Every structure is written in structure tokens, then in C-alpha cells.
Amino acid sequence: MSKRQIELEVMRYDPEKDEAPWFQNYEVPCEEDWAILDAINYVKENIDTTLSYRWSCHMMVCGSCGMMVNGEPSLTCKTFIRDLPDKVRIEPLENFPIERDLVVVLDNVMEKLQTAQPYIIRKDPPPSDDKEYTQSRAALYKFKQYTMCINCMCCYAACPQYGLDQSFIGPAALALAHRYNLDSRDQGKAQRLDILADHDGVWDCSFVGACSEVCPKSVDPAAAIQQMKIEGAKEFWKQKLSGGKS
Amino acid sequence: MSRQPYIRPMSKTTWYMRNGRYKVYMLREMTCLLVGFYSFLVIFGLAALSSAERWNAFLASQQNAAMIAFHGFALIYFLIYQTFAWFELAPKAMPLQIGEKKLSDSYIVIAHYIVWAVLSAFIFWLAGVF
């Protein structure tokens, strides 16, 4: 198989030496079927062992190799050399602090994922003695798409609202909340909407839609957020009309 | 080893210049300026109905090259672009599932165009166009 020479322009940042990030160029002989992650691995193994970045599965499951590829938030194991020009710029995900080189600090988003209360909340006891919740396929398909999120955080890197205001709960966490709100076994929608349809929640989203366009798993967080806005408004009026009780 | 994360701030005034996607979003959002302008125009027009003289003056104020050009631009940018942009996004906010199958987005978009055409025809009928 013939090789193709590409120039990787990689953002570097060493917190112990550098005041600001800078770019380092690497010439990489790539195989035709390589993904960008393969080229970065080649650099690490053959050219510069000091380069830091996250990756694990190389098969679009772990969600840890999200980076900016030519300015686009991308899962680098899914972004192929054959679709890119001869010079490729690799940066850490936008909107996150840089820990080192291509590694970003995700603490803020990890806290936000908990805000979504991503687990089944029940008010009533389980419907049967064996504590099994039955669910039809039609009911599963209502939310299945939102279960596909792998927390790669490309959506947060694409979201200008999160970039401008880090208190915004953001696309992945809101899509995760919506996944449980749509689950026929769950009874926690009102409880979640109290937090998520309030300040820093769905109403901070101005529907740029970039989160859905960059999502490598077609989760469509923008759709989840718009649907939650409608649900939030309905819940608000339901509570108003019932005198504050829901 | 010390942790000293580097923060890349996003410019509050020029962030939308970062990529084409943000620019398209801003073009969509800026249609609100024309909505505001038309609201004022309608209010002035309604107020002008108080007398034939004022109404004729209002009509005359619209009959010059600059206003006609503006109305033409507004028709394309506001009416057509804005409608197209929002109708395309409508299926995201109101997806429909029939049984186990999700209804194709195109049906929801086409339904919006049909409702738009019917309502427009009704308004034209009210206005005595036909």
C-alpha cells in the first residue's frame, strides 16, 4: 500500500515550561486507510514520545480521542486521512482548559452530567413482584438515539454558548436528561425540568445547532434541547394551573 | 508536577467569525432586525389609517427606489430565508413517531409549507387579492 506524506501541525502546551500553547509540525508517512488518530500514534511512537493525548478503543466507543481537526471538533479515530488535505492542524477541544498538549480538563462537564440525574427515578413502586420494568420497542425507540452518546465532548467544543458561558449545562448533559425524560419507566421528568428548564439549562441554548452537526454518533443534542424547551413550557403551565403542585 | 491549565477565552464580540456555521447562525438570527422593523412599519401604517391624508402620505413614503429595494431584500432575506431555515429545523423540535417508526423529517417540513401556503392564501383572500 502506498504511503502519503502529511504534515501534522499539533498544538503543544507544557504547563511547567510554556506560558501559552504553540504549534509543532511533524511530517508523517501515512497509510491510505489511516485515521488521524493513527497519524498521532505514529508521532508518539516514532518521532516525539513527549506528546500527550487521550485515546483508548480506536473504534468510536470510548469517546476519549475527541480533538479539533482543522478547526472542527472530531473523533480522531473516525476522521480519515483520505478526507483531509496534506496539512492538518490538530488542537485540543475548544472551550475546555488545556491540561497538557491535546489533553483537556473535563471536570466542569463531568459535574454537569450529574445535574442531568441520568438514572431512572421512580415515584411508584415497581409494577410487578419480580421488580422488572417492561418496555415496548416503540417506547424504546422514542429515546434510543439519545443513549448513543459516548461523552466525547465534541458537542461542547462546537457550542458557542458553552464557550461564552461555562455555567450553561450544555448539549450532552441535556440530551442525557432528555433520554431519561423520554423513558417510559422513568417518573422523574418534573424533578429534572425544575433544574434543566431553569437558568443555565435549556433556555440558554440559542439553537446554533453546531452540537448536532459535529456529533460523531448522530445523537442530535440540539433536537433534545428544543424538545425539552417545549416540555419545560408545558410543565411550567401545568404547575401554574394546578396551583404549584405537579 | 504542577497543574496549570491554559484557558483559551472566546471573544464575546467576534466569536461568530470563528467558522462558517456560526456565521450562518448569525444571518438567521439577524432576521429579527427585519421583524422589528416591520413591526414598526405596520404600527405606523395602522396609525396612518386615522385619516385619508395620513394614509396617502404613508403609501407615498413607501413608493421610492430605496424602500422598494429594501422590501425586495426583506422579502428574500426575511420571508424566504428565515422561513426555509426554521422549517428545516422544525422536525428537531417536534419529531413524530408512529408505532415503532419515526416519521421522516421531510413530511414535517412539507406539512409546514402547506400550512404556510394555506394561511397565506387566507390572508390574501381577506385582503381582497382574490
Q: What is the DSSP string of A164-187?
A: H-TTS--HHHHHHHHHHHT-TT--
Per the prediction, chain B carries an average pLDDT of 91
A-chain residue closest to B86, CA distance: A207
- CA–CA separation, A116 and A230 (whole Å): 17
* All cell numbers assigned to B104: 421522516
Q: Are A32 and A81 spatial neighbours (Cβ–Cβ below 8 Å)?
A: yes
- CA–CA separation, B84 and B116 (whole Å): 11
Domain-embedded: residue B67: yes
* All cell numbers assigned to A141: 425507540
| Of A93-107, A148-162, B86-100, the least confident | B86-100
Hey, how many other C-beta atoms are within 10 angstroms of the C-beta on A95? 24
Distance from CA of A232 to the nearest CA of B (A): 13
Identify the pLDDT of residue B79. 80
What confidence tens digit (pLDDT) does each residue in A157-213 have? Answer: 999 999 999 999 999 999 999 999 999 999 999 899 888 988 899 999 999 999 999
Closest CA to B107 of B84, B120, B82, B90: B90
- Of the CA atoms within 13 Å of residue A121, those in its CB half-sphere come to 15
Q: What is the mean pLDDT of residues A205-226?
A: 96
Q: Are A115 and A195 spatial neighbours (Cβ–Cβ below 8 Å)?
A: yes
Distance from CA of A19 to the nearest CA of B (A): 8
Distance from CA of A43 to the nearest CA of B (A): 23
- What residues are paired with A26 via a beta bridge? A8
User: Would you call B29 and A206 a contact, using CB atoms and an 8 Å cutoff?
Assistant: yes
Residue A215 reports pLDDT greater than 90: yes
Identify the pLDDT of residue A178. 96
Identify the pLDDT of residue A246. 47
User: ipTM of this predicted complex?
Assistant: 0.87
Domain count, chain B: 1
What confidence tens digit (pLDDT) does each residue in A34-75 have? Answer: 999 999 999 999 999 999 999 999 999 999 999 999 999 999
Identify from B87, B89, B92, B98 which residue to disrupt to test chain A contact, counting A C-beta atoms within 10 A and taking the largest count: B92
Structural domains of chain A, ranges and CATH numbers in brackets: 3-104 (3.10.20.30), 107-241 (1.10.1060.10)
Range of the domain at B60: 10-77
pTM for the full predicted model: 0.91
What are the residue ranges in chain B where pLDDT is below 50?
none
Domain-embedded: residue B41: yes
Question: At which residue does the C-alpha cell 403609501 appear?
Answer: B59
Identify the pLDDT of residue B129. 86
Q: What is the mean pLDDT of residues A109-124?
A: 93
Closest CA to A56 of A155, A158, A194, A152: A152
User: Would you call A97 and B15 a contact, using CB atoms and an 8 Å cutoff?
Assistant: no
Identify the pLDDT of residue A124. 84
Domain-embedded: residue B66: yes
B6 vs A21, A213, A223: nearest CB: A21
User: Would you call B22 and A160 a contact, using CB atoms and an 8 Å cutoff?
Assistant: yes
Q: With an 8 Å Cβ cutoff, is B20 touching chain A?
A: no
